[in-house]
Amino acid sequence: MKITTLEMECEIAKYFGIRRNTIVPNIFWSMFNYELDLLIITGSRYAYEVEIKVSLQDLKRDSEKYHTHDSPKIKKLYFAIPHYLEKHIGYIPEKAGILVVCESMYYPGTLKVRKIREAVIKSRYQWSQDEVYEANRVCAKRIWGLKEAIVYNQKQRMYERERKIMQRVDDHIDQEVMKNESN
């Protein structure tokens, strides 16, 4: 079973605790010189970066990037991969912790995260309240784009259902007309 980036983000957010930590997806905006897949800011105001990889090609390409996940504002770097990439952890930098997303043994059809390597502490930078506020502000702004996408997808599904119903009605009418013409 292939695991999507969105599924990975959701599971990792749950793993780090969305109620006790600030977790911001895809942050770049004025805070870093590269995009972070997930930024986790702990209650103690230390920051972790999670780089999510869902394919071997993506994992290999990361080593060719101009940056090396080297922000001085990040205490720990983690790479998150689906279970089927676990045999390719050699592409992950030694300084990075490794999180593996896999299907739960106890709850089939659900996912869980397990840590197979702890991250090396890269920095002791503690974020200011203003920086945490800014990260929260960026995250809050994103919700409206996500809600728009949900509404759009719901409408598309509704239109598709209506189209299928109308097609069945048309097919039924055509069958009735053909039946009446043959009588």
Return the amino acid letter for 170.
D
Beta strands in the chain, from DSSP E residues, in sequence order: 22-27, 36-41, 47-52, 76-82, 97-103, 111-117
**Judging by DSSP bridges, how do beta strands 76-82 and 97-103 pair with one another?**
parallel
Q: 137 and 144 in contact (C-beta within 8 Å)?
A: no
Q: What is the dihedral of CA 92, 70, 138, 25, to 10 degrees?
A: 0
pLDDT at 43: 95
Q: What is the pLDDT of residue 66?
A: 63
- Find all residues with CB under 8 Å of 67, minimum gap 6, and list them: 33, 34
Query: For every one of its 183 residues, what pLDDT tens digit does the chain have, with 9 covering 90 and above?
Result: 799 999 999 999 999 999 999 999 988 756 777 889 999 999 999 999 999 999 999 999 887 776 678 889 999 999 999 999 999 999 999 999 999 999 988 888 899 999 999 999 999 999 999 999 999 988 888 788 888 888 988 999 888 989 889 898 888 888 888 888 876
